[in-house]
Amino acid sequence: AEDEYPKEPFGKILVRAQVILPELGAEEKLKEAEDLKKSEHVGFLELGKLYSLYQKRIQLFHDSLYEVNNRAERVKNLLNWTHPRKTKVVLYLAFMVFALFVLVPSRVIILTLSLFLLTEHFRPLGVVVIKLNHLLALVPTDEEIKDIYDTGLYADRHILERDDIVNEQDTENPEDSMS
């Protein structure tokens, strides 16, 4: 049966391996989990540690949901004319991208995007992402808009502007104000 198989290899086999390093603090979390499993009798202190551990995780989850919600509200407010100048810029960019896709063949666009992604090592890190985050950071969330209207700052500013307009009209036509 050994004579049936050739003694020389047919070719080479390429083996690819990936090493996944544990995240920072993973050993401590693993030790805490093992300690919780090993303890048969859970005392008051262990319950307190368990409670604080779950409380930290729930707070982290809550904070991440809050950030995602704020980002979504900012995008919504960017597109519903809450900040008109920035909405104009976004709509102009969308129109230019549409015109680009209509006028330029898709293979050229794909080639350009792939070159952009392949050359990111030669450019500063995350310039586009930083600019987008800056654009979104200056657009208010729904909560900030509500606070502005509730405090009356917005109304006071418009009242002052109206007073200035009325005062300008009074100074232009003093005869009209007397009658």
Instruction: Report the alpha-carbon distance of residue 78 to residue 138 in Å, rounded.
Output: 10
Whether the pLDDT of residue 164 is over 70: the answer is no
pLDDT tops 80 at residue 22: no
Which H or E run contains 170? helix 153-172
Q: What is the mean pLDDT of residues 57-68?
A: 94
Q: What is the DSSP annotation of 63-96?
A: HHHHHHHHHHHHHHHHHTTSSHHHHHHHHHHHHH
Helix (H) or strand (E) holding 110: helix 106-118
Tokens matching residue 108: 């050229």
Pick 108 or 171 by higher pLDDT.
Answer: 108
Region for 35 from its dihedrals, namely left if φ exceeds 0, alpha if ψ lies in -120 to 50, beta otherwise: alpha
Instruction: Give the pLDDT band (50/70/90) at residue 88.
Output: very high
Q: How many residues does the chain have?
A: 179
Tell me, what's the pLDDT at 157?
Answer: 54
Buried b / exposed e across 130-153, counting CB within 10 Å, b at 16+?
eeeeeebeebbbeeeeeeeeeeee
Whether this prediction's pTM lies above 0.85 is answered by no
Listed ranges 28-37, 93-102, 121-130; the one with the highest mean pLDDT: 93-102
Q: How far is CA 168 from CA 36, 154, 161, 162, 177, in A?
A: 75, 21, 11, 10, 12
